Amino acid sequence: YSDVKRRSFWKKNEKNFKFNFIFFKKFILNKNKFDIVPLPSIQSIKQIFSLKPKIIICTGFSFSTLISSIYSKLYNVPFLIWTGENEYSKVNILRHLLRKFLINRAHSMFTYGSASSNFYQKRYNVDFNKMLKIYNIIPINHNINVQKNISNKISLLNEHKLKLIFVGELIEKKGVDLLFNTMTEVHKILDAYKLSFTIIGHGDLKNNLKKEFSKVDFELEFFENLPNEDVLKLIAQNHFFIFPSRREPWGHVILESMSVGTPVLTSKYPGAVQDIIHPSNNSYIVDFKKPVLVAKKIKDSISDIQGYQEFCLNSYSSFDKFQKIMVKNPRLIFNHIKNIIS
């Protein structure tokens, strides 16, 4: 499980069924910041044919997916694609053509939320009846007292204290290189507030970030590893969650933040934005390449203390409504697969 799934304290009943994980080496045809095209090994090709599956579900549009589609055609086996790509996903011409070919071959598609479903309908003319809109997330369960934390945040604002937080991989895809300029402007424009910024994560840009933030004159906390149960508690104590991601099929951490009543300042790229973010009501969509505007958005929000309190409550209530949709995911997926097999 990834960190984000462990933080969700996933409740599940034990079921006895056969499962197996098989890992293969792969060859990289092209690799840059946003695109990896893996070529399947001969071993993986042999394995697909030896397993004799009754249904194949592939994530994404790799050459392994292509092999699976060929098997599907040869043996009349249902072939499904599980994807969260949307209009902001960057692909090269090879993957674009491969994607188009595989979509036409697939019996059905699982797409993450409205952003992904709308993208495939508009770009590839995929019928909505061929897609099952799902949410690639799991229920979020915690024992945090949301109302108490919101009250504590209001008290901090009355004391002119402002707390912001980022949680995630410290890589360029997550937009963490934009954090320094953003926080610098926040500190400058909200100079009447004692600013505190928390970063939780690890990745290739960790040392760069530490170097950039080493000379700031506001409070900075940097955690590379924390017990998972403590991460949500920290998010709950902050006024805003900062999320400058450049590419995000969904963005589960947006839901995590809203689940504890902490509004999000997010880029437009995460897939979750279309389904749960309602600007000026529960969170904000901002352009992190314009840090002055981001800082002014925070200032305008917290200038009205009562309005900010309602904003936090709306953030939580929006999550709570969405959670009721999320819990239906497993049954929807199961029934969809069952219908295809039968």
Neighbours of 134 (CB within 10 A): 22
Q: Is the pLDDT of residue 243 over 70?
A: yes
Mean pLDDT of the region 251-272: 95
- pTM for the model stands at 0.87
Question: How many residues comprise the chain?
Answer: 342
Q: What is the pLDDT of residues 286-306, one digit of tens each?
A: 999 999 999 999 999 999 999
Do 312 and 262 meet the contact criterion of CB atoms below 8 Å apart? yes
| Whether residue 167 has pLDDT greater than 50 | yes
What mean pLDDT, rounded, does the chain reach? 88
With a pLDDT cut of 90, the percent of the chain lying above it is: 68
Q: Among residues 314, 326, 168, 320, which one has the least CA distance to residue 259?
A: 320
Mean pLDDT of 135-153: 88
Instruction: Answer whether residue 272 shows pLDDT above 80.
Output: yes
d(CA 147, CA 153): 10
Question: How far apart, in whole angstroms, are the C-alpha atoms of residue 192 and residue 158?
Answer: 11
- Taking the C-alpha atoms of residue 252 and residue 256, their distance in angstroms, rounded to an integer, is 7
Structure tokens at 279: 């600007």
pLDDT of res. 50: 87
In a 3-state reduction of DSSP, which class is residue 80? strand
The per-residue pLDDT for 301 is 96
pLDDT of residue 32: 47
More confident residue, 47 or 10: 47
Among residues 206, 244, 145, 124, the alpha carbon closest in space to that of 254 is found at 244
Per-residue confidence (pLDDT) for residue 64, from 0 to 100: 82
Mean pLDDT score, 51-67: 88
Distance between CA 248 and CA 206 in Å, rounded? Answer: 20
Closest CA to 183 of 294, 326, 282: 294
Tokens 């001969």 found at: 42
* Residue 37 DSSP SS3: strand
Q: Are 61 and 38 in contact (CB under 8 A)?
A: no
**In terms of pLDDT, which residue wins out, 22 or 144?**
144
Residue-wise pLDDT tens digits, 183-240: 999 999 999 999 999 999 999 999 999 999 998 999 999 999 888 779 999 999 999 9
Residue 244 reports pLDDT greater than 70: yes
Query: If DSSP codes are grouped into helix, strand and coil, which group holds residue 49?
Result: helix
Q: What is the pLDDT of residue 15?
A: 59
Select the highest-mean-pLDDT range: 61-70, 167-176, 245-254.
167-176
What pLDDT shows up at residue 46? 82
pLDDT recorded at residue 43:
72
* Three-class secondary structure of residue 266 per DSSP: strand
At 233 the pLDDT is 95
36-50, 123-137, 302-316: least confidently modelled range = 36-50
Residue 277 tokens read as 């973010």
Strand order in the sheet with 264-266: 219-223, 194-200, 161-167, 240-243, 264-266, 284-285
Q: Is the pLDDT of residue 13 over 80?
A: no
Backbone angles phi, psi at 184, to 5 degrees: -60, -45
Question: How would DSSP label each residue in 155-166?
Answer: HHHHTTEEEEEE
**DSSP secondary structure code for residue 238 in this structure:** S
Q: CA triplet 336, 340, 342: central angle to 5 degrees?
A: 115
Position 12 pLDDT exceeds 80? no
